[in-house]
Amino acid sequence: MGYYNPLLAYGEERFLEDAAAAGVDGLIIPDLPIEEAVSYRRAARRQGLSTVFLVAPTSTPERVKLIDKSSTDFVYAVTVTGVTGTGKTFGEATDAYLRRLTAVLTRPFVAGFGVNGPAAARRMARYADGVVIGSALVEVIRSAATKRQAATEVGRFLDTVRRVLP
């Protein structure tokens, strides 16, 4: 996952070739709208790379369908509006949004942004094919005193999440 500007500065074709050679399976470029991703999608396809686009609670049904069609393996469902982080709460509006996605998307989808632990992960997993936890893991790593402690704490955190998933 990264922003498009560094990819563009590196050279789209060269970046995707190098990414494939390095063993990358796919890319999530959140600031690249699908309308402007024609050459990127074509080059990624040539390299055998998955292209993953994001839907949001504000996405229209038409846009959700376009993103579904433009993504190769799965769609990333942003669960909140605004920025990512660990202080988000989820309620019936989130559930309704994710239910709408299950009715419209033909590809599997993962839910992320603001998923901060077991309870939120379990809620997302009721609808999504996968759950993305980013900021909470960064916080676990950041609060550790050593690399070894970070690895141990990440393992513990993920174990608590795994125990509540279906």
Q: Worst-scoring range by mean pLDDT, 34-38, 89-93, 130-134, 158-162?
A: 89-93
Question: Could you read off the pLDDT of 116-149 as tens digits, one per residue?
Answer: 899 999 999 999 999 999 889 999 999 999 999 9
pLDDT-derived band at 83 (thresholds 50, 70, 90) equals low
Which positions ≥6 away from 17 have C-beta within 8 Å?
A: 47
pLDDT at 145: 96
- Residue 100: predicted pLDDT: 95
The answer to whether 84 touches 54, Cβ cutoff 8 Å, is no
Give the domain 4-132 fold. Answer: TIM Barrel (3.20.20)
Instruction: Give the residue extent of every domain in the chain.
Output: 4-132
Task: Inform me whether the pLDDT recorded for 166 exceeds 90.
Answer: no
Across 93-121, average pLDDT: 94
Work out the mean pLDDT of the chain and round it to a whole number: 93
For residues 1-25, give the mean pLDDT.
97
Output the DSSP codes for 52-87.
E-EE-TT--HHHHHHHHHH-SS-EEEE-SSS---S-
